[in-house]
Chain A
């Protein structure tokens, strides 16, 4: 069965970096993008970015550009999310999720969108000042 198992909770100081891991099993790792979504305490869900484990291509939400990266290691079917220059408002639960890709046409272009069929259990990152 498909599983995404994330690393444990982290406590960091403001200005530090954090790296969260997401170990995938039960499917061919390179066939699906891994996405990262976060949820601040008592708040909604916010998409952060994705990694294509087959090509290494990545895309990030604009608000995280320059602070987030999503490395991966196919040999151990693990994706990572690294967030730098942590602030107190980065305190959140961070989830990895497997993306199901769907294409659509808009204007003269073709785009891809993703919904998320399997999620990791979440990793709580707490940032203290």
Chain B
């Protein structure tokens, strides 16, 4: 199984600041098949980014995905109040199934 390790576990920032979330894979993720999801309390996850850097339909351009191989980053510029949530990465580019990271909680400072 490919292990995805997200850091930090919790990130405390203020609206207007920039958030940088990390996702590291235990082995190479082929074709950079890495997705990011946002989950708010009591809601299902919402797709933000796929293919490491492609924004899903309707996702604002303040959300940017980057990275390749084993190291991936989600950057959220100019944080809005509605961006405070838990973020998960998910890989779908290894032969060992589809796995999620443990999540990063983005909270208001």
Binding site for B on A (CB under 8 A): 35, 44-47, 61-62, 95, 100, 102, 104-107, 109, 111, 113-122
Q: Which of A61, A102, A122 contacts B92 (CB 8 A)?
A: A102
Tell me if B72 is interfacial: C-beta within 8 Å of chain A.
Answer: no
User: How far apart sit A106 and B2, CA to CA, in the bound complex (Å)?
Assistant: 14
Chain B min CB distance to A27 (Å): 13
Chain B min CB distance to A90 (Å): 18
B45 and A45 contact, CB distance less than 8 A:
yes
**Interface size in chain B (residues, C-beta < 8 A):** 26
**3 closest A-B pairs by CB:** A113-B92, A119-B44, A115-B35
A115 and B92 contact, CB distance less than 8 A:
yes
Q: Which of A47, A62, A106, A113 contacts B100 (CB 8 A)?
A: A47
Q: Which of A35, A109, A117 contacts B56 (CB 8 A)?
A: A117
A113 and B98 contact, CB distance less than 8 A:
yes
Residue in B closest to A122 when the chains form the complex, CB atoms:
B44
Residues 36-52 (chain B) with a chain A CB within 8 angstroms: 37, 44-47, 50-51
A104 and B93 contact, CB distance less than 8 A:
yes
Residue in B closest to A115 when the chains form the complex, CB atoms:
B35
Chain A min CB distance to B51 (Å): 8
